Every structure is written in structure tokens, then in C-alpha cells.
Amino acid sequence: MSFRSDVRSWLDENCPASCRGPGEVPGGGTKVPMTDDQRLWLDRCAERGFSVPTWPEEYGGAGLDKDEFVVLLEEMRSLGVRAPVAGMGTSMIGPTLLEYGTDEQKARHLPRIARGEVWWCQGYSEPGSGSDLASLRTRAEDHGDHFVINGQKIWTSGAFNADWIFCLTRTDPDVPKHDGISFLLFTMHQPGVTVRPIRLISGASPFCETFFDNAIASKEDLVGGLNRGWTVAKRLLQHERSGISMLASGRNRETGDELDDLARQYAGESDGRIADPVLRDTIAGHNIDAEAFRLTQRRTVEESEGNTPGPATSIFKYYGANLRKQRAELQVSMMGTQGVGWEGDAFNGGEIGMTRQWLAGKAGSIAGGSNEVQLNIIAKRVLGLPD
């Protein structure tokens, strides 16, 4: 049996119906419950290695090469199968540990990520260190076999659900700022960690303030060496911005059909098509752009020498953020006044949710590195333009 037919048969036989089509992909961890079907699907994929398909088998993966990975993605998309788990564990810290972690760190952390046992969050930005991240002031002091950490992080996505954090800390204040940073891993389940959600204009709180008051990180969880964290941190951001993890997680499963259905509901239908020709053309144009973006991501997977390309990942971050904002604007505009509902009987749950999603999406061109930062990276590192 060919690899493609084997994969297709396995996916079709093992993925529950409730884990197909558009929907949320669980993040794992100890704090957010899964449905029975989500847990079953995750357990089956973890046993096969499909929760992290390109990782080595010894760390919980399936050891797929690029060609096999692309086949798996194609078959998942064809069957409408969602990934079993997603989040910063599979998309960011896991791939980074594969490159920079010690054998002991890989053996201890990666299988737990593959099984969805840990929810990870990112400790990068600080109140005074956003775009100039290297100016961070959170301190980690050497106490023999461990570090003691004091400081504050902000915009810590999902910190209230997180079990562990990967965190940038200042370990040498007397050298140039990029040279005195270390990359540490430590548990969020300790007295020295306090998390406070930040309420956004959407009404939700995916971002948090995170405070460290004598928090502890073991020396065993120093990644990349003392004062060499900046190199590790930059590589992790390339994993985050590549969009490759999005292909694998299924979080990009926003289809043109969904926009078409929404348009028919609010703008009407004529002869099987969206009634308004201008709106129809606008949606078609957006869908073409979205498909071109997806195919570019896919081509990058196939052409890259490693699992993640380099500075060109900023192109994905920049264009993807704009594309998602464009989609949200299109959704609320076609709904008219029903697209700006906040509360009350005049709006149903889907309409209120759409409004909040539209508002939350405004952060997309700032979070994870602003559009301006991405354009600077593209200009300097991809196009080679002078400073």
C-alpha cells in the first residue's frame, strides 16, 4: 500500500466526526478540558506520531520527511481532518528544542508536547521592551543549580492556561544588550509566578501580564548556553512566523465556502450565486489571495532545506496578518448593522461573536512582531537593502 493511501485510510478510520471540519484545535495541558473525542483523537495521533509528524520517532513524532509531510497535510485537508493538538509547544518551543536543546532536554520535554500534556506560553515582551526586545530587564540570577527570576512580562498569550513558559531573561547586565540574554524554561505552577489577564476591546483576554517574584528555573532548563539566548530567541520567532505550523495544525481551515454562505445569508442569492455582484467579486478576490498564500506556504515547506525557512518567514507574518484582518472586515461589512452587535436580543450569538472576532483581529498586525518590524526584516535580511 502506498504511503498516501495508507495515511488516508488511517485518518478516515481513526478521526472522530466531531474532529473534522472547521473548529477549535485543543492546546493540551492540565488546565483546559478536552471533549472525549478530542482526547481520543489526540491519543491515537500521538501513538502514530501524527501530533508532531516531522519530529523524530524517539521524541514522539512520526519521522516523516518533507514529501510525506506534504502528503499528510493534503489528506488531512481532503478529509476535513483537524490536527489533534496545537499551540506554542508544537509550533514554537518544540522545533526550537530540536535545534538547540540538549539530548536530556529533548527527551524530557518533547514527548510530553507530542502527547499534549503541557500548554506552553512565551515570555518575551515587557512593558518597556516590545519592538526593542533586547532591552528586556527581567533578571535571572545564578544560584548554583538554579536561577532565581524577577521581573515582568506582558502580552503573554494564554499564560492563564499555561503549565510551562519559555522566557528571555537578563543574565549579564554589563555587556551589550544582545549578548547578556539567556533562554530559560520553567514551570508556571510555582508560588513565584502571578498571571493577570488583560481585557481587550473584544471582551476576551487571551493576553496577560505575568510577574516573577523569585521564580525558579533549573540549570537543566537553560537552552543554548548562558548569555546565548538571543540566537535561540530569533530562531523560535522564525518558527512562529513561518505559518508552517498553521498548515499542520489545521487552524488555517477558513474556507471560501464559509464566506460565500455568510454573504448569501446577509446579502441574498440569485441563480445560485451571491446576489450582489460587487460583493461577489470582492469575496472571489479575497479567496484567490488566501489560496495563493496557502500554496506559497506549502511550496516553502517543499523547498526549504530544514523544517522552517529563515528571515523570509516575516513575509508570512506580514501578509497573513493583513489577510486575516481583511477577511474580518469583509465579514462584518457584508452583515451590515448585524455585524457590529455587542449585546442584546437584536443579535444572535454568531453575530456577537463575529463582532468580537473582528475587534480582536485588529491586534494581528502588532502581536508577534508588528508589520513595521516585519517589513524591516524583509528589507534587510531578505532583499539585502542598506540600513
Check 117, 240, 303, 351 and give the catalytic one. 240
Indicate the pairing of strand 181-187 with strand 164-170.
antiparallel
Separation between Cα atoms, residue 243 and residue 91, nearest integer Å: 9
Contact 172, 180 (CB under 8 A): yes
Q: How many CB atoms lie within 10 A of CB 214?
A: 13
DSSP alpha helix (H) spans, the chain: 3-14, 36-48, 66-79, 88, 94-100, 103-114, 229-241, 244-249, 256-267, 277-303, 313-334, 349-360, 371-377
User: CA angle, 16 as apex, 204 and 27 as ends, to 5°?
Assistant: 35
Indicate the pairing of strand 146-154 with strand 139-142.
antiparallel
Contact 7, 46 (CB under 8 A): no
Q: Is 240 a catalytic residue?
A: yes
Query: What residues form DSSP beta bridges with 212?
Result: 151, 193
DSSP alpha helix (H) spans, 80-225: 88, 94-100, 103-114
**What phi, psi does 271 have (nearest 5°)?**
55, 40
CA 33 centroid distance within chain: 19
Instruction: Look up residue 215 and give its three cell numbers.
Output: 521564580
Indicate the pairing of strand 120-123 with strand 208-218.
unpaired
Separation between Cα atoms, residue 55 and residue 103, nearest integer Å: 14
Contact 206, 363 (CB under 8 A): no
Separation between Cα atoms, residue 333 and residue 338, nearest integer Å: 9
Instruction: Look up residue 260 and give its three cell numbers.
Output: 460565500
Separation between Cα atoms, residue 39 and residue 43, nearest integer Å: 6
- What residues act catalytically? 240
